[in-house]
Structure 1
Amino acid sequence: MNATVKKLLEWALIIALGFILSFVIRTFLLDPRIVPTGSMLPTIRLQDRLLVDKLIFKFSPIERGDIIVFHAPPESGEKDDLVKRVIGLPGEQIEVKDGNVLVNGNILQENYLLEKPDYQYGPATVPEDAYFVLGDNRRHSNDSHMWGFLPEQTIKGKVWIRYWPPSMTGPLNP
């Protein structure tokens, strides 16, 4: 085999392995996302680039405050995946009144909000295998207060880090 053919085969193998590795990472581990709306302001801004950890919920439970990506429920009228914050866990009673979110009758302290909600919701109990999710920009978010509880099986992963813009790079903690 001549040197040129050998070099071409090496490059083809490297490129094929790169594609396979990229496919495995994006399918099972991490998924890059670009944020198309302001529903999570001020925490996540329009056009922020995020990495979603698709494996974490196989090893640890979903917790209040987690920022998640999920397939939009049909009731939402959305076609693209959505990004929201987990507020209510299975079995909890959720109510929104007087600008506050109440979980089991206790006001949830939320220092990440753009504005307090200007609507009423509930009280309603989160079913098993479901969650109550809200955007941080409560007055401008298509979320559980509009379309109901989020089935657990629609959750794709947890937002792990913001990688763009560079000045805001880092983990997104609850």
Structure 2
Amino acid sequence: MASRADGAATAPSTPAEPTEPSPGPQVDPAEPDVSATRAGRREPRRGGTATSLLKETAIILVSALVLSWLIKTFLVQAFFIPSASMHDTLIEDDRIMVSKLTPGPFDLERGDIVVFKDPGNWLTEETVPDPTAWHRAVNDVLTFVGLYPQDAGEHLVKRVIGLPGDRVACAGAGEPITVNGVELDEPYLAAGAIPSQMAFDITVPADSLWVMGDNRQQSSDSRFHQGEPGGGSIPIDNVVGKAFVTVWPLDRATVLHNPGETFEDVPDPS
């Protein structure tokens, strides 16, 4: 006999209406998912930022040094004037820039101011004062960045008077310099200087230059080395470049023009 509980009829249950999920936050597909973006983004670590800064600084410094080396090697180089041999055009402690494109792509001309490496024993006769501590410090900095040569103490600066094949002469003290028979009017000479205190007559060898200082009585130039190989002329290969501007001190900053009118009537050597 079935138990009452088992046989009692129960009302059929009504199926529940399907429940729609409650809508979540609406997202505009045109807008970025800010929460997702923030969740996926990592804050940069401070150590990484410092490393990146050091790397960028090193790249900048190396690039600057390479650029400076390229400029010094192929374009321009800085020199200073240590003596009185080029007064009044250049005086002691002037800083000049020298174009290394001359000689090279551009030819040297009479009247150019050139820096050249000592061909041998010239500097022993030049009065060159020892640099002060401040000057040494400046020179060390310029050398480090490549704008000043390691062997700057082995260079001289003079003016080109004769090119290869030119006959350069002077009849004696107080007489003018002649080049290929033409007397020179030299407005660049130092105040009170005379063209030469000694007589000479030389034909410039091939691939060489006859050079003289503007302060003739204070310049140990080609005239004083006639007994050496080249007869006082210097090899063109020793020329570093042509001085084209004085940059320091600022009150002496100027372009170093070639006095073309001095040599315009000089004929080419026969």
**What range is the shorter-chain TM-score in?**
over 0.9
Following superposition, the deviation at residue 97 of structure 1 comes to: 2.5
CA distance change for structure 1 residues 118 and 109 in 2, over 3 Å: closer, same or farther? closer
Within 5 Å, give how 1:37-52 maps onto structure 2: 37-52=83-98
Aligned partner of 1:8: which letter?
Answer: L
Larger radius of gyration: 2
Answering whether residue 166 of structure 2 is matched by residue 88 of structure 1, we say no
Are the counterparts in 1 of residues 123 and 154 from structure 2 also a CA contact under 8 Å? no
Are the counterparts in 2 of residues 39 and 135 from structure 1 also a CA contact under 8 Å? yes
Q: 1:60 aligns with which of 76, 100, 106?
A: 106
Which 10-residue stretch deviates more, 117-126 or 129-138?
A: 117-126
Q: 1:108 aligns with which of 173, 176, 184?
A: 184
Within 5 Å, give how 1:118-137 maps onto structure 2: 118-137=196-215
Are the counterparts in 2 of residues 84 and 133 from structure 1 also a CA contact under 8 Å? yes
User: 1-side partners of 2:196 and 2:165: how far apart?
Assistant: 25
Deviations 1:136-163 (A, max 9, x none): 0001101101110011100000001000
Are the counterparts in 1 of residues 170 and 196 from structure 2 also a CA contact under 8 Å? no
| 2:140 counterpart residue number | none
Deviations 1:21-48 (A, max 9, x none): 1111112211111100010001101111
Are the counterparts in 1 of residues 177 and 196 from structure 2 also a CA contact under 8 Å? no
How high is the TM-score relative to the length of structure 1?
A: 0.94
Q: Which runs of 5+ in 2 are unaligned?
A: 1-46, 125-152, 226-231, 259-270
Deviations 1:96-150 (A, max 9, x none): 2242111112211100101014422321110110010000000110110111001
Aligned partner of 1:152: which letter?
Answer: I
User: 1-side partners of 2:162 and 2:113: how far apart?
Assistant: 12
Q: Which ranges of 4 or more aligned residues in structure 1 deviate by more than 6 Å?
A: none
CA distance change for structure 1 residues 130 and 121 in 2, over 3 Å: closer, same or farther? farther
User: 2-side partners of 1:138 and 1:101: how far apart?
Assistant: 11
Are the counterparts in 2 of residues 97 and 119 from structure 1 also a CA contact under 8 Å? no
Are the counterparts in 1 of residues 212 and 222 from structure 2 also a CA contact under 8 Å? yes
Which has the bigger relative contact order, CA under 8 A and spacing at least 6? 1
Q: 2:240 aligns with which of 145, 153, 156?
A: 156
Following superposition, the deviation at residue 168 of structure 1 comes to: 1.8
Following superposition, the deviation at residue 58 of structure 1 comes to: 1.3
Aligned partner of 1:91: which letter?
Answer: G
Q: Which runs of 5+ in 1 are unaligned?
A: none
User: 2-side partners of 1:160 and 1:109: how far apart?
Assistant: 22
Are the counterparts in 1 of residues 210 and 233 from structure 2 also a CA contact under 8 Å? yes
Are the counterparts in 2 of residues 132 and 150 from structure 1 also a CA contact under 8 Å? yes
User: 1-side partners of 2:107 and 2:196: how far apart?
Assistant: 31
Residue identity over aligned pairs, in percent, reads 37
Aligned partner of 2:188: which letter?
Answer: Y
